[in-house]
Amino acid sequence: MTTVATLLAAARRSIPPSEARLLLGHLLGRNSAWLEAHRDDALEAAAAAQFSALVARRAAGEPVAYLTGRREFYGRDFAVTPDVLIPRPETELLVEIAVEKVGAGGTAHSARPSPALTGGETSCAQGAIRILDLGTGSGCLAITLALELPAAQVTAVEASPRALAVARANAERLGAKVAFVESDWFAALPPQTFDLIVANPPYVAANDPHLGQGDLRFEPADALTDHADGLTAIRRIVAAAPRWLAEGGWLFFEHGWDQADAARALLETAGFEAIEQARDLAGIVRMSGGRKPAARAPIALVPEANNQ
């Protein structure tokens, strides 16, 4: 007789116990507590076979998120497919930065910078906030910002139609109001400006050995790497962003562990001020950004007095 306990015991020979419980719970629509309480329950042969197939795929390296079709991000459950990157915990830092910048509800305000930030100040004028998420993928950033900042107007762009379909479905299921645009970065956007632009672009260099390891082997390559030095997309975004930012607007983006200096240099070259960089839980700088300077009023020249 095949029971919950025997299936889990067999699976543990090839995958971690936590993953075995997660996969069986997903298949049966049950949580870990239920599995423990029903260890001796018999399972039908079809369910046992399906579970064994999932275990084999995981043992071969296929990500758990793709096997279950789900991944949690910022406390919410997002659907994921092999057409989108799997949301990662470090990307939640972008959400925290955005919320810190624009404040609860989605209206700009003056606030202290997040403790994770270094090298800048927060200063936004009061008013409705317009946010742009570049390369939205599963939509985790745009949707989370729309739900955390309900008064904000959030737009998300994505070049992949299949990824865009995943993002739209996530927004509908989670009840988030997001305007989705199929676009290669800014290319298809109608003329407008934003108060905040966020991006998690492909930043892995083509020769990075991690691309051939672990979950990355199964994720969409074009969302991971620029097939060059890892900075191509970041260069494009930073160079073009000032034209799409309102005065005093902010740009923040995720980048690789070794790209902090290059990110700061690109921001400086593009004319950004109040440049800030944020560290992840491991103490590594993984987010960089800056503010578009406000236009300065011309200095009025006072004519010299006529001494005659």
Tokens standing for 278?
């944020």
- Tens digits of residue pLDDT in 90-136: 999 999 999 998 875 444 443 333 434 444 333 344 557 999 999 99
The whole-angstrom distance between residue 199's C-alpha and the CA centroid of its chain comes to 7
Torsion of CA 176, 186, 240, 249, to 10 degrees: -20
Q: What is the pTM of this model?
A: 0.86
Structure tokens at 243: 């034209």
What is the share, in percent, of the chain residues with pLDDT greater than 70?
88
Can you tell me the distance from the alpha carbon of 197 to that of 186, in angstroms, rounded to the nearest whole number? Answer: 11
- For 49, the token pair is 């076979």
Residue 128's pLDDT is: 78
Running DSSP on this structure, what letter comes out for residue 129?
-
Burial 147-178, CB ≥16 within 10 A → b, else e:
bbbeebbbbbbbbbeebbebbbebbeebebeb
Q: How confident is the model at residue 263, as a pLDDT?
A: 98
Q: What pLDDT, on the 0 to 100 scale, is given for residue 134?
A: 98
Q: Which amino acid belongs to residue 149?
A: L
Phi and psi dihedrals of 3, rounded to 5?
-115, 170
Count of CB atoms situated within 10 Å of the CB of 179? 13
Q: Report the distance separating Cα 133 and Cα 170, nearest Å.
A: 15
Q: How far apart are the first and last CA of the chain?
A: 113
Any bridge partners for residue 79, and if so which?
Answer: 70
Q: Which two tokens stand for residue 52?
A: 């064994």
pLDDT of the residue at 108:
46
Q: What is the rounded CA–CA span in Å between residue 43 and residue 7?
A: 9
The CA-atom distances, in angstroms, between 214 and each of 12, 81, 207, 281, 286 are 19, 16, 16, 21, 21
Measured torsion, CA atoms of residues 228, 67, 96, 103, in degrees rounded to the nearest 10:
120
User: What are the per-10-residue average pLDDT scores of the chain (308 residues)?
Assistant: 91 95 95 92 93 95 96 97 96 94 56 39 56 98 97 97 98 98 96 96 94 93 95 97 96 96 98 95 94 74 54
Pairing of strands 117-118, 107-108: unpaired
Parallel/antiparallel/unpaired status of strands 76-79 and 70-73: antiparallel
Contact 102, 122 (CB under 8 A): no
Residue 104: Cβ within 10 Å count = 12
pLDDT of residue 101: 87
